[in-house]
Amino acid sequence: MNLPELRIGDKVAKYPVVQGGMSVRISLHKLVSAVANAGGVGTIGGMAIPPGELRDEIQNAKKLSNGVMGVNLMYAGYQFDRLLDVCIKEKVDFVAIGAGFAREPFKRLKEHGIPGMAIISSAKAARVAAKTEGVSGVIVESGQAGGHLGPKDPNISIWELFPEVKDTLDKVGFNGPVIAAGGILDRLDIDRALAMGADGVQMGTRFAVSEESAASPGMKQAWLKSIGSQVEDWSPTGMLSRAIVPHLSERLPKIGINGLRCENCLKACRHRDDPSLYHCIRKALTNAQEGNVEDGLIFAGNRVGEISELLSVKEIFNRLVGQPQAMEA
């Protein structure tokens, strides 16, 4: 079976494969444009970077590709509104919004003709998203995804979660693209997701461990060496998250230690409220991205242990779009 195209708004990608947005500074212009040039959909991770940097990333991506490229923003981010302004001004192909939900940003996107994609993890959220003006597509993310998690059962697979959410969307007459995310790694997974009624899949960890990803070589090695990831109360947002656990959490950076100052990256942060609790997640993710993995937090999906090769985006797509077979990752 040939893979179908994926339509987002009036843009069409050759393959129904979305590279999920990955912050902090993992999916930047090089990865995103490579995915778009390979026929997929690229997403810049827009969380916890200054608005000017996001603008530069969008412009640089557009210099490298005419393909389908958008931005992922976390509603929980303090700078959310300013980052959304940048996406609108730069006329990105779509904005995917997760980690919190509000109607207003989708309405604003619609006013500017930009499709909004809601990242959701329950049938209840699906009902709300489907009724929200400006929600043009939905990304259903399971508990097996890397990063912050939305499902009530933080280990639920996409195969368990998707059918109920899709059924809910169908019943309310939602007709935008519905994308399956979290635990998708190879062509068999894509075929299975399409057979369940998905219009496409979103993959994060596989693209994080690519030549074009902006993660440091040390972080890529940590993903390659890891045998899995686990769900922990890692995040001062209060949301559970899935990461590799290579170190003692005492090593994670804290505000007030070694001159670390709070940059107010989150609207609500338990660590900012009480620095004895948790750690600074922006700095922990940045440490990992820059190669200080011992003092860093490494988000990873539950299939990370099956990824044993650092591949180019082109090779990842060759394996995904070829004949169905389990990918030797």
Ligand X SMILES: Cc1cc2nc3c(=O)[nH]c(=O)nc-3n(C[C@H](O)[C@H](O)[C@H](O)COP(=O)(O)O)c2cc1C
- Note the residues at the interface with ligand X (CB under 6 A): 20-23, 26, 45, 47, 72, 74, 98, 119, 141, 144-147, 181-184, 202-205, 208, 299-301, 303
DSSP H or E segment with residue 137: strand 135-141
Contacts of 181 (CB under 8 A, 6+ apart): 18, 20, 119, 139, 140, 141, 142, 145, 158, 201, 202, 203, 204
Closest distance to ligand X from the beta carbon of 194 (Å): 16
Q: Which is nearer to ligand X, 56 or 275 (CB)?
A: 56
Q: Which is nearer to ligand X, 55 or 275 (CB)?
A: 55
Closest distance to ligand X from the beta carbon of 259 (Å): 26
Joined together, the tokens standing for residue 243 give 């990461």
Closest distance to ligand X from the beta carbon of 7 (Å): 20
Q: Which is nearer to ligand X, 105 or 182 (CB)?
A: 182
Closest distance to ligand X from the beta carbon of 54 (Å): 12
Residue 53 — left, alpha, or beta (φ > 0 → left; ψ -120 to 50 → alpha)? alpha
The CA distance from 169 to 252, in Å, is 40
Question: Which residue has its beta carbon closest to ligand X?
Answer: 204
The amino acid at residue 175 is N
Contacts of 196 (CB under 8 A, 6+ apart): 159, 162, 163, 166, 180
Q: Which is nearer to ligand X, 274 or 309 (CB)?
A: 309
Closest distance to ligand X from the beta carbon of 247 (Å): 16
Q: Which is nearer to ligand X, 63 or 313 (CB)?
A: 313
The CA distance from 302 to 304, in Å, is 6
